[in-house]
Amino acid sequence: MKLEPLSLFPESALSHSLAAGSFDEDGLYGEIAVLRFTGRYRDGSRGSPDAAYMAVVAAAALARATPDVLVLDLRALDYRWGNSILGVFVDVAEADREYPVGLVLATSPRCRPALATLLGLDPRAEPGPEDLLQDGLEAALTRARGLALARARAIG
């Protein structure tokens, strides 16, 4: 068997940054991490390396920050179509099968219409307070806080 070198980070023009914070409310402790992706996600199957990059980075973010909720800040991501990005969302949801890590997507007009369509949602509909897709970071953090509290209650 011949081994081929493999880059941990698939080739992608995307970039990322990670921030995390914690809070204590009514005796419950919660941690939220915000993973921001910027750049242009390539269309269709050409975006597969971008999705792979995002998945590797998201896995590292979950290991580094150990949050109750991961907010994927996609406001600066130019995304038009391609379904490989769904794998990133599934990976986050399955990171802890006993107490699933919450996921919220902070969106903007640069990505929201395509993400809504991909997820089977009406791209023209206003997001509700409990939706996966949230318009902007503040709305996403508000949703994340509620999910973090629910996870803290479940863990006990």
pLDDT of residue 123: 87
pLDDT of residue 6: 85
Residue 153 has pLDDT above 90, yes or no: yes
List 133's β-bridge partners, or say none. 105
pLDDT of residue 127: 83
Query: pLDDT for 25-63, tens place per residue?
Result: 999 999 999 999 999 999 999 999 999 999 999 999 999
> What amino acid is encoded at 145 in this protein?
R
Residue pair 90/58 in contact (Cβ under 8 Å)? The answer is no
- Give me 93's structure tokens: 């949801």
**How large is the average pLDDT for residues 3-15?**
90
Residue pair 151/30 in contact (Cβ under 8 Å)? The answer is yes
pLDDT of residue 31: 98
- In the block, tokens 């929201």 appear at 112
**CB-count exposure of residue 118 (10 Å: 0-12, 13-18, 19+):** middle
Q: What's the pTM value of the predicted model, to 2 decimals? A: 0.93
What single DSSP character describes residue 100?
P
Residues 6 or more apart whose Cβ sits within 8 Å of residue 128: none
Query: pLDDT for 129-140, tens place per residue?
Result: 789 999 999 999
What residue spans define the domains of the chain? 27-155
Pick the CATH number of 27-155 from 3.90.1150.10, 3.30.750.24, 3.40.50.1980, 3.40.50.300: 3.30.750.24
Per-residue pLDDT band for 2 (boundaries 50, 70, 90) equals very high
